[in-house]
Structure 1
């Protein structure tokens, strides 16, 4: 809520969803800088973070007035300078191009690439414009690079997207199994809460699976430094031992799952000896991980990009879920498979239909009934929404190469740093006949490839909702006006819709009206939010979904959670009671019923295929990439904040001492890294924190922040066949010392700074 003294909002960085409170500054600085009109602090009333924030949230105000895009700008070709124009001229140019492309090439030539930094209202209006009114399913988002494998894994194994756990489970688990996540640096408030529970309870075990010895791994009871690409081998190996020991929940398997026999046939091939050899760990480590799992009553697994960003990302997610299904570790406090969302509103985007195969309310464009429901709600003729999924993020790039994409609208993201196979991405964007770039900062690496720049407002300058990793929806309220002529993203999309003739569909006057329409499309869906409104969120604070509208009947599960009855008007063994104000639901599947046709969760039987690009004699090392605590994504914000930029003022490459000695690379020496696609140069950090044969580079630096230091100049576009998520976490590289160029080692970070938490 907003009062005369404070405004409640949400941190705009990662998917933890920490509550922030913005208050007027006690006094302005001598120079009267705009950023000093406000102060930010953790919101102690926010149930997800309890007043804690990391350094990024604590310094976010400092970015608000740095290098803002203040006015619309146009140019006819990329070799010309931009000129400032009014909104009418800019939008007229955009609408004219949309209409001409539709007339000449059809709606399939129109694409939009959005962002997990959109608020849900912005996601929703974009879907209505692109998939509904324009008839193009070619809307994808940078969540494709972030969470799409988790989405596919949840849908295939459990019947629906949506993490079944909540943050309260961090305080209740007996064993936390962290795989493919450096939680301490990438989701620090989640890790801080888990670490407190771990320290306080000696029986609680923490397992960390990561080829790097990260800050997260340093806190573990067991660190498994597996070879990249062997996650499924490890997970199947743990399952092998659980089955061999009889440490499984047969009643749960028989009553609530399907496919176990096929799974059991696969995992019998994964003895500790075989798994240890493939993963390059010891059999004892495999057995210890299985023993920790088997001896625990409540196992909570967590993962992020290290699992999702893989050519077999969906299979990895399902392999994690397999372990929960075979031990009954789901639907109860302290247990379950918990994906940690990378962006602040990637969850909200999924709810609103913000991937190329989705429609609002966890619907699919391939389902005729789903399309009909949305067309009716949007007052569009039958057949307006196409039945074929649209282009993924990488498919948009290849569509530019072939000329099939004639209009590209990019909003709130920076693909010229974040996309894989970056030189190919840049070349494709240079071929784009017409690119609209909508952002709040200028310049960015992507703005150099645009024909039209549209200034968007950002965090603190617009009101809307976001959903965090635990399915908790927070109302983020505006506390200042947008600078210059910038506008909220949803207003820009809606204005384009009206100018194209869809006045009835885009008659919204406020974001609360957008949200009110959106939640009606979630009614009776797995992500039911029909009981939410801006007004209720302002009055009651953040709420979990599902949260049906008042009057829905509930039953009480064995755990005491109130669960919506699947057949509200028929007798049920548990008592039914009408609730005048339904509560939000912290955990899913507490009744052990899953939204599949038979109500059962599904085991998946997978052998690992390994990396899409394994090392060889010419490219003998595996490069893995990731985030650092002080930065986020492509530094569009953090690179403009003194404290965060100084934490890591330059990129680096981590190399094991054994590999460095073999190649003659010294600590601090400049190293040239080559893949089959490109080249980059980084100062070497020689450290035992990285496994031999593997090197690590942070992904935050684009051309604006360092020279020849783009991690994604090296990565490839090969993606998971189910999720379409590229394997950004692993590619084959060679290393060459640049002996003529030395960098003083003291200029490099000597150790990873601890994830300071501000309360």
Structure 2
């Protein structure tokens, strides 16, 4: 029987139907109507017990649950008694379910008595939270996905939607195909896959979003395109905001030069915005992750307020979240500067109401430490115990090496996770095995406020438990049993839903009260629905906001000061997602085919910068900032602005030697939200030329060499899963080192040419099955890595000559890199279909299936069509 559940990846919140063996998109789910991206389509491939944390551990020793829970409770209780409640902290995650989030927030704020609970959503969406609260009085996304299909103008800013939110992108693409007059504008310094859909790409200089939207506000005023009746009836602060925007004047030539775009493109954008009553502006991390991210969000919202385009069909600002339950965490109070259900810690009436509901006298009265400050407090010893749940701050926080050192020196580090290895888990004193996707049960809220179920469909491995259960058991042991009586997750959700009545009492739109009396059976039967559960699915369309006087608020946004780029760090580094990976690859890194599109960490630079800094396309580059360094491959990308670089956020020390991009990022924060500026890191770049290159297939850990990058192989030996390593080094290798990299074996195949520095080894068992394979050369040895991977799964003997060659005797032509990950279609296959007459993306799909599932590769297919036609 198929189970309806929700995808564990981005904030689109796609519905999935699965029996645990096969999987398809849920055609009844309003978010995706059956569509899935390649990550969602392959999620079953990430299941399994390999590398799972299966038993509680204390100080490296496996212990019973009772012992581990007692230890967590005793340590936290002792520290609170000796040093006060602010000496402990929780750091949680948008990977948690709403019920997990709720009990963690209730324990820390309500009963331990500190607001030192923050979430990794601080790193991606907290500036949008500030912008919403300042403008609307409440952290609410006003619109719906349907608005993207109703709009006449869709603006995508700070979002490579095609790769980061593929199903949202496909909905826009389908709408544009149905209504070709619909306009799409992409605002991004980089030319990304999303630009394939754009009628206009505004490649503004990094950090120029506020001047761009201040200029838009001025343009609207100059050209009589304001909705003055709406402004007068429903808003405050317009005159001051317009005066601030006008400080840069209305010299459109000068503004275009400042933006780094043509005056024609700039004014075309302004004209389209003025002319299209139905306009949706989608913004995401590229807007939020800046030192003025809150102002950038408000500058966008200002333009919508000035034209009355908030919460109306086809007209709204639309912040799209990065994680499956980032929104749910915000609802229940997962941020350090809020109470539950969108109420404020520093508001006495809100405080009294929540304290009364929870029946506590210990409710936190002051804002807690936000993510970066929290780990700074761990470093200084102010926070002596931290509990990290379902997230990886050693990789995802800025100045990531400092975070690691801080945790290694902390008195008590508790980590709840579903994996047995991880950069943060390595710092833990107490490790608690948590349920993962497919095993746990609860609710998630997506970017359009749609609440959906994640349902279990596989048996919990080992002794893993749900996060809500773990937190509840610790709360009981700390003396709060009466406040944490939960036996089932539906009881937690019902309590949270009842608590939202307080939100309504104070004029908030968050309303889940219809679920306050939900039975266990009704909880199981829950169908996706947006909050507020009763009433209009859009918010603020009536011009009535959640502010004290019910009026929307304009926020004056100062133009940022232009900072000169120093000679020591002349490149501006941006970071973000790639198409087929997710966060720090804890889950996607288990599926080998998700590495087929991009298998190694890289830095993308403009061809002029590659030439200027004497780098080599496909070679290696060292990047260094004031706080860290990295060593990755070089990729040439004409879509980059000269003077900028891009690195993906996904690679950790579990997957490469030195590719943690956030080790490069200094902790520069938005003063209002505490969100780090991940998109604007000054670095220098330099060439690195190794003496040798190599391939290694083994189940063993990577060798200690200067560069390695790992890809899982879908083959298992008795000792574990086979891994493929791409190696490079700058020190001469010895025979002993080569021997040490290989396992004990019954048979050996070897080919040595010391004069050229070329060595090959194959280790076989007594029945001739491949155990490990190694090739070293002055240049990267030629081999068929896909064929070699299959050799590990093949029970039959493989010809020794072919094994040493690293390719079959009857090897065909190299088909090039994978373009379509869903169907593993390679570049040469696609080019051949074009040469045979396929003259459109649709025609390519009919010939070889490429682009017919999630559609994420369609921009690359169009690029190949253009290249082949030339």
Instruction: Give the structure-1-normalised TM-score.
Output: 0.89
Structure 1 position 587 matched with structure 2 position 538? yes
Match 1:112 to one of 79, 90, 101: 90
2:736 counterpart residue number: none
Q: Distance in 2 between matches of 1:478 and 1:722?
A: 39
Alignment of 1:341-740 (within 5 A): 341-381=321-361, 384-523=362-501, 524=504, 525-532=508-515, 533=518, 535-536=521-522, 538-539=524-525, 541-547=527-533, 582=534, 585-610=536-561, 615-740=565-690
Q: Distance in 1 between matches of 2:851 and 2:639?
A: 17
Structure 1 position 70 matched with structure 2 position 70? no
Match 1:86 to one of 64, 72, 84: 64
Cα 1:437/1:361, change in 2 over 3 Å:
same
- Contact 2:596–2:817 (Cα < 8 Å) also in 1: no
Shift of 1:274: 2.7
Q: Distance in 2 between matches of 1:719 and 1:334?
A: 33
Cα 1:687/1:758, change in 2 over 3 Å:
closer
Q: How many pairs were matched up?
A: 698
Shift of 1:473: 0.4
Alignment of 1:38-53 (within 5 A): 38-53=21-36
Q: Distance in 1 between matches of 2:459 and 2:441?
A: 11
Structure 1 position 173 matched with structure 2 position 151? yes
Cα 1:265/1:123, change in 2 over 3 Å:
same
Q: Distance in 2 between matches of 1:478 and 1:220?
A: 40
Q: Give CA-to-partner distance per residue, 1:373-413, whole Å, 9 cap, x none.
A: 111111212xx112110011111111112110110000000
Shift of 1:659: 1.3
Shift of 1:64: 2.0
Shift of 1:755: 7.6
Shift of 1:267: 2.2
Structure 1 position 222 matched with structure 2 position 200? yes
Cα 1:149/1:616, change in 2 over 3 Å:
same
Match 2:261 to one of 253, 275, 281: 281
Q: Distance in 1 between matches of 2:201 and 2:576?
A: 18
Q: Which range is displaced more, 453-462 or 234-243?
A: 234-243
Shift of 1:614: 5.7
Shift of 1:739: 3.3
Q: Distance in 2 between matches of 1:441 and 1:309?
A: 28
Structure 1 position 21 matched with structure 2 position 17? yes
Q: Distance in 2 between matches of 1:105 and 1:296?
A: 58
Q: Distance in 2 between matches of 1:350 and 1:413?
A: 16
Alignment of 1:155-234 (within 5 A): 155-234=133-212
- Contact 2:490–2:523 (Cα < 8 Å) also in 1: no
2:813 counterpart residue number: none
Q: Distance in 2 between matches of 1:638 and 1:476?
A: 18
1:237 counterpart residue number: 215
Q: Distance in 2 between matches of 1:677 and 1:723?
A: 22
Q: Distance in 2 between matches of 1:54 and 1:397?
A: 35
Q: Give CA-to-partner distance per residue, 1:612-663, whole Å, 9 cap, x none.
A: x762111111000000110010000001111113332101111111111111
1:317 counterpart residue number: 297
Cα 1:61/1:659, change in 2 over 3 Å:
same
Q: Give CA-to-partner distance per residue, 1:248-303, whole Å, 9 cap, x none.
A: 11111111111111122122224322322222111211101101111112000001
Q: Distance in 1 between matches of 2:371 and 2:394?
A: 12
Q: Distance in 2 between matches of 1:535 and 1:590?
A: 35
Match 1:329 to one of 309, 316, 331: 309
Cα 1:146/1:220, change in 2 over 3 Å:
same
- Contact 2:94–2:326 (Cα < 8 Å) also in 1: yes
Q: Distance in 2 between matches of 1:628 and 1:451?
A: 33
- Contact 2:453–2:526 (Cα < 8 Å) also in 1: no
Paired residue secondary structure (1:358): coil
- Contact 2:375–2:406 (Cα < 8 Å) also in 1: yes
Cα 1:278/1:749, change in 2 over 3 Å:
farther
- Contact 2:135–2:552 (Cα < 8 Å) also in 1: yes
1:249 counterpart residue number: 227
Paired residue secondary structure (1:364): coil
Shift of 1:439: 0.3
1:8 counterpart residue number: 4
- Contact 1:670–1:683 (Cα < 8 Å) also in 2: yes
Q: Distance in 2 between matches of 1:121 and 1:733?
A: 41
- Contact 1:237–1:286 (Cα < 8 Å) also in 2: no
Q: Give CA-to-partner distance per residue, 1:319-349, whole Å, 9 cap, x none.
A: 0001101111112100101001000001000
Shift of 1:610: 4.8
Paired residue secondary structure (1:363): coil
Paired residue secondary structure (2:45): helix
Q: Distance in 2 between matches of 1:356 and 1:227?
A: 33
Q: Distance in 2 between matches of 1:623 and 1:314?
A: 21
- Contact 1:629–1:755 (Cα < 8 Å) also in 2: no
1:553 counterpart residue number: none
Structure 2 unaligned spans of 5+: 694-727, 729-778, 786-815, 822-849, 856-870
Q: Distance in 1 between matches of 2:326 and 2:420?
A: 24
Q: Distance in 2 between matches of 1:385 and 1:259?
A: 34
Shift of 1:543: 0.8
1:564 counterpart residue number: none
Q: With CA pairs under 8 Å and 6+ residues apart, which has the higher RCO, 1 or 2?
A: 1
- Contact 2:419–2:586 (Cα < 8 Å) also in 1: yes
- Contact 1:188–1:755 (Cα < 8 Å) also in 2: no
Q: Distance in 2 between matches of 1:245 and 1:477?
A: 53
- How well do the aligned residues superpose, as a CA RMSD in angstroms? 1.9
Q: Distance in 2 between matches of 1:124 and 1:305?
A: 25
2:44 counterpart residue number: 61
- Contact 2:167–2:854 (Cα < 8 Å) also in 1: no
Which has more radius of gyration?
Answer: 2
